[in-house]
Every structure is written in C-alpha cells, then in structure tokens.
C-alpha cells in the first residue's frame, strides 16, 4: 500500500488494532466498544501513561512492518501541541495521517 493510499480511515483502524493489542499485552480489560471516540489520555482514558507509550510504539511498528512507513509519533511537535494528538482514537488517526502526508 502506498503512502497516498494510507488515508485517515486506515490510520484509525491501525490505532484501533494497536490499542486492542496493547490492552491484551497489558492484561487490561477492553471497553465494550472501541471506536474513534475512545479516550486514550485524560479523564476516562482506557490507558495509563505507560500504556500510551506502548500504544505509540505498537503503532509505529505496525506502520513500519505492514506499510513500510517509518514515522515518529512522539515528537517535540506532538508534545508541544496545545491539544494532545493522543486524546482519542480519532484524533490520533488524524494526527498519524497528517504526519505521514507531511513525511
């Protein structure tokens, strides 16, 4: 799959698959529904801070292995944004898509 074909919907699906994997690895119960509105950080988050780090690593590895895309999600740019790109599954999908396109 080319970088151009890796649209937002694909990025959201990668986040969801990676989140499910991290929850299993951490032996954390998954919420009944995981979708774009699933909260990753902050109040009502499904992950703790270590889980978010694991999620970022899992997504980066999945992008590299499945799509041959090397990307760093936890950059200075991401950390300095007023609103975290790691808030929800959908926001993270948007951020990944934008980061790849800027690549």
Instruction: List, for residues 5-42, the tens digit of each pLDDT value.
Output: 589 999 999 999 999 999 999 998 989 999 999 999 88
The C-alpha angle with vertex 14 and arms to 13 and 20, in degrees rounded to 5, equals 90
The CATH number for 42's domain is 1.10.1200.10
Tell me the three state secondary structure of residue 47. Answer: coil
**pTM summary value:** 0.89
User: Tokens 């990307």 identify what position?
Assistant: 71
In a domain, 51, yes or no: yes
Residues 6 or more apart whose Cβ sits within 8 Å of residue 44 = none
Instruction: List, for residues 42-52, the tens digit of each pLDDT value.
Output: 888 999 989 99
In a domain, 2, yes or no: no
Q: How many domains does the chain have?
A: 1
In a domain, 1, yes or no: no
Count, residues in the chain: 103
| Residue numbers of the domain that contains 45 | 8-102
Provide the 8-state DSSP code for 39.
B
Residue 3 has pLDDT above 60, yes or no: no
């Amino acid at each position: 799959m080319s970088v151009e074909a890796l649209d937002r919907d694909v990025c959201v699906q990668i986040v969801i698959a990676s989140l499910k994997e991290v929850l299993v690895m951490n032996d954390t119960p998954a919420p009944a529904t995981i979708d774009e509105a699933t909260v990753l950080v902050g109040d009502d988050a499904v992950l703790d801070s270590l889980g978010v780090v694991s999620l970022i690593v899992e997504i980066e590895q999945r992008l590299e292995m499945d799509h041959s895309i090397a990307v760093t999600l936890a950059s200075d740019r991401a950390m300095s944004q007023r609103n975290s790109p790691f808030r929800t599954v959908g926001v993270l999908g948007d951020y990944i898509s934008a980061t790849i396109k800027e690549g």
